[in-house]
Amino acid sequence: MSVLIFIDSAEGHVKKASLEVLTYGAKVAEQLGVAAEGVILGTVTEDLAALGKYGVKKIHHVANAALDHLDAQVYTRVIAQVAEATGATVIIFSNNVDGKAIAPRLSVRLKAGLVSGAIGLPDTSNGGFTVKKNVFSGKAFANISVKTNIKIIALNPNAYKTETREGTAEVVSFNATVDPGKVKVTKVTKASGEVPLTEAEIVVSAGRGLKGPENWGMVEDLAKALHAALACSRPVADAHWRPHNEHVGQTGIAIAPNLYIAIGISGAIQHLAGVNRSKVIVVINKDPEAPFFKAADYGIVGDAFEIVPKLTAAVKKMKGIT
């Protein structure tokens, strides 16, 4: 019996979300009195043994270059082999783009109950296994009791704090059967922007209050000063003021940075659904009645065209940027 944690990586590097699931998975393993093991697929350039500091004891590395790009069907079949070989009873993913693609498929393959969007450790008292998750775009919680022998949890990014301890992991090579898959990646075009949105600690986002694409320079300046990623509301992307890969919300990307700065965004429920897991939300809006202020930790009522340049100047001064 073991807890198996999927270590998500890109271009050979372990993603930040993986460190959260490693910490979380190690805690689940401790609760159940079993070992925490990891699985990572494809070419990796990082020192995997060092991931032991997040509590994982053993890492199974399927170092096959055919797995360098995500193909959810192929990944599912490989992870299923590792799960079967390790006798995993709990399998943990980040509920990020990759986790959302793999976990449901693995759930069907292994006939395992799945809780996606988990936000806390399972309650294992009295022999049960109940996991708390967000529902209705974060408006309510549900406690899901999982009764299957194998259980899968997809943990929301930023829902669990990364912790380190002493220790290194044993890294073992896993010889899996990797079938060719039905999809072939022929070209990868990276989205523009200095910081990837889903990995960013800080996100600066703007909406229709900016009036037009010609005014995004001040938003970009603030993002650059803060080393933040850029995001926008849906109407902004629909109007082609900004690319669709920056659109956050119910129908866009869901993010959970440490700091989300919303400029000229009203705070519609569909927008909040994608950003309300941010640790700290700062809202800049000229309308004191804007709904976003109810979800904000800090609010500035005023004209973005006056406030944003001042904020950027203050950040630059603080950081000594000329």
Ligand X SMILES: Cc1cc2nc3c(=O)[nH]c(=O)nc-3n(C[C@H](O)[C@H](O)[C@H](O)COP(=O)(O)OP(=O)(O)OC[C@H]3O[C@@H](n4cnc5c(N)ncnc54)[C@H](O)[C@@H]3O)c2cc1C
* Interaction site with ligand X (CB under 6 A): 207-209, 233-236, 249-252, 264-266, 268, 270-271, 274, 284-287, 290, 303-305
Compare residues 60 and 234 and give the one whose CB is closer to ligand X: 234
Which residues sit opposite 205 in a β-bridge? 231, 262
Min CB(43)–ligand X separation in Å: 34
| C-alpha–C-alpha distance, residues 216 and 312, integer Å | 13
Residue for token pair 């950027």: 312
Q: Which residues, in sequence order, are CB contacts of 175 under 8 Å at separation 6+?
A: 62
Min CB(219)–ligand X separation in Å: 12
Contact 181, 209 (CB under 8 A): no
Compare residues 181 and 293 and give the one whose CB is closer to ligand X: 293
Compare residues 251 and 258 and give the one whose CB is closer to ligand X: 251
Min CB(281)–ligand X separation in Å: 14
Q: Which of 18, 11, 19, 69 is nearest to 44 (CA)?
A: 11
Compare residues 94 and 233 and give the one whose CB is closer to ligand X: 233
Min CB(287)–ligand X separation in Å: 3
Compare residues 151 and 271 and give the one whose CB is closer to ligand X: 271
Min CB(272)–ligand X separation in Å: 9
DSSP 212-266: SGGGTHHHHHHHHHHT-EEEE-HHHHHTTSS-GGGBBSSSSB----SEEEEES--
